[in-house]
Chains A and B, each alone.
Chain A
Amino acid sequence: MGRCFLAAGALLVLASLAHTPKCLDGHCPVENLSSLPRTGDMPVRAHTGIVLELPPAVRTRNWGGGSCVHASNVNLLKQMGQQELADWWRKNYSGGEYDTRLVSRLEAAGLKYAWISDSRSHDSDGDGTADGEEFFYWCMRTGRGAGIFYKPSHSINFAGMDEQYVYLLDNNATDYPERVGYYERVPRADFFRRWRSYGGFAWTLIYDPLPGGPQ
């Protein structure tokens, strides 16, 4: 009887763990939009600062024993309306990836892309804003998501930012239920510090980004 209670207790603990939102490495998911900062009646995109808006069914999940860099790139291709190239990339590349090979593959595929490597917080133009921050500001300003090397041995998508947070889309956790997405968010200063600690590499594609859902 005692064993039975023990087993039931263990099952209950497991069940509760299964329903606990994951908060890996201090990155807490945004569970619903009402928790996000609002500005009057501004539409979702304006008040969340999310630019990489992919519905859950469209998001690319990591595949084939660790293809997170490729999954992030496929997400970018989809956001920029390049569905055929997204299918091509998905079919032709899988497995581990590193920055130089990714860049050479982007080049070989004839894609229009931009990347930044700023692990040491350089400020090339001396304007007081580090190159890495400038890259993400440009992505945000022009409505583009980015792929980033982030979390241990992992790559995910930068999905946007606002005054307080940076929003992230992890290809190991794509099946979230909300209409405009379920994003992880990290305080901005933490994001930049951690991104640099993981090597400070980011890239994006230079095509017209698709708008999110009409408001």
Chain B
Amino acid sequence: MKSLSLVSCLLSALALAAVLLQDKPEPVLIEAAEPIADRVMDLPEDGGRWSTIVVYPDGAKDIESRAVASWFATEPRLQSLRAQTRFFEFPQTAWWPRSYLPNTPAPYVIVLDENNRTIYHAYRGALPADGESVADEIQTRIADCCPDVPDQKPQHEWQARRKVPLLRPSSPASDDLLSGLAAIAAIGGAAWFGWRSREAA
């Protein structure tokens, strides 16, 4: 009988201990073995930037996905957007699209400002025909949402300066100029090569 009481006492004590320990944070930190040496480094001031997010269906090999990927690799204004914003590419199964846009048909492109306001959004079935049209649309949305205003200094030290991406319109004039320069360079190169060849002979 005594041993039975002892066992029940022990069980009760264990149960009580389990209840008491249940909600306590688990121990985590242990004492440092040695102090850490100081090291000063320059931290990037990359706040206030917008985000460009491209989401593909998982294991995407469809035509639309390949087209979207090639737009961002070749269209100059989209490349510029990519460089000026935080650029992310995800499969649809990644946590970000799964949590925030689970029902949007991929592939899709979304541009968010520094406060996560949607500036531009295009998704499968409603994507523009080519990269140039996407760039045109994004450029228009940026102009509509964020007209040129003098750069305002943030009110507090923990706030970043807003960095609105600047997409330059693709102008035929500048394209012509580039083509002209390329032609001059090509003629010059050919002439120099010919001269060197003659000299070697």
Give, as a whole number of angstroms, the nearest-CB distance from B18 to chain A. Answer: 15
* A129 contacts partner chain B, Cβ-Cβ < 8 Å: yes
The answer to whether B160 touches A210 (Cβ under 8 A) is no
How far, in whole Å, are A102 and B95 apart by their CA atoms in the complex?
26
Contacts of B117 in A (CB 8 A): 43, 214-215
**Complex CA–CA separation, A94 to B183 (angstroms):** 62
A208 contacts which chain B residues (CB < 8 A)? 46, 86-88
Chief secondary structure at chain B's binding surface: loop
For chain B, the count of residues having a C-beta within 8 Å of the partner chain is: 45
Which of B25, B34, B112 is the one whose CB lies under 8 Å from A154? B25
B contact residues around A161 at 8 Å (CB): 158
Instruction: State whether B26 touches A137 (Cβ < 8 A).
Output: no
Query: A62 near B112 (CB under 8 angstroms)?
Result: no
Query: Chain A residues near B17 (CB, 8 Å)?
Result: none
Once the chains bind, are A142 and B46 in contact (CB under 8 Å)?
yes
- Closest A residue to B90 using CB positions: A81
A188 and B135 alpha carbons, distance in the complex (Å): 43
List, in ascending order, chain A residues with CB within 8 A of B36's CB.
99-100, 103, 115, 117
Contact check, A81 vs B88: say whether CB atoms are below 8 A apart.
yes
Mark out the residues of chain A between 33 and 89 whose CB falls within 8 Å of any chain B CB in the assembled complex: 42-46, 49, 55, 57-58, 62, 65-69, 78, 81, 83
Beyond A100-B36, A211-B112, whether A142 also contacts B95 by CB under 8 A is no
A31 at the interface (CB under 8 A from B): no
Question: B112 — which chain A residues lie within 8 A by C-beta?
Answer: 211, 214
Asked if B115 contacts A43 (CB within 8 A), the reply is: yes
**Of A67, A99, A215, the contact of B116 (CB 8 Å cutoff):** A215
Contact flags B59-99 to A (C-beta < 8 A → 1, else 0): 00000000000000000000000000011100000111001
Asked if A98 is an interface residue, CB under 8 A from chain B, the answer is: yes
Q: Closest CB of chain A to B35's CB: distance in Å?
A: 7
- Interface hit among B3-11, B37-45, B138-146, B164-172: B37-45
Check A136 for interface membership: any CB of B closer than 8 A: yes
Report the Cα distance A142→B116, complex, angstroms.
14
A172: B residues at CB distance < 8 A: 25-26
Interface check B177, CB cutoff 8 A? no
Known: A206-B43, A211-B112. A153 touches B158 (CB 8 A): no
A69 to B28, CA, bound (A): 7
B33 on the A face (CB < 8 A)? yes
Residues 102-121 of chain B: 1 if any A CB is under 8 Å from the residue's CB, otherwise 0?
Answer: 00000000101011111001
Q: Is A143 in contact with chain B by the CB < 8 A criterion?
A: yes
Contact A215 to B159, CB < 8 A, known contacts A57-B99, A206-B44:
no
In the complex, chain A residues 139-174 whose Cβ is within 8 Å of any chain B Cβ: 140-143, 149, 151-155, 161, 163, 172
Smallest CB separation, B26 vs chain A (Å)? 4
Distance, CA A117 to CA B32, complexed state (A): 13
**How far, in whole Å, are A66 and B27 apart by their CA atoms in the complex?**
5
- Alpha-carbon distance A103/B43, docked complex (angstroms): 17
Closest to B34 in A: A100
Sorted nearest first, the 6 A-B pairs with minimum C-beta distance are A66-B26, A68-B28, A140-B158, A142-B47, A96-B30, A137-B158
Chain B residues packing against A (C-beta within 8 Å): 23, 25-36, 38, 41, 43-48, 51, 53, 86-88, 94-96, 99-101, 110, 112, 114-118, 121, 156-160
Task: Beyond A67-B26, A172-B26, list 9 extra A-B contacts (CB 8 Å).
Answer: A42-B115, A97-B29, A99-B32, A100-B34, A137-B158, A141-B48, A142-B46, A209-B86, A214-B110
19 A-B pairs whose Cβ atoms sit less than 8 Å apart in the complex: A42-B115, A43-B115, A43-B117, A46-B115, A58-B95, A62-B25, A66-B28, A98-B31, A98-B32, A137-B157, A142-B44, A142-B45, A142-B47, A143-B114, A151-B25, A154-B25, A208-B86, A211-B112, A215-B117
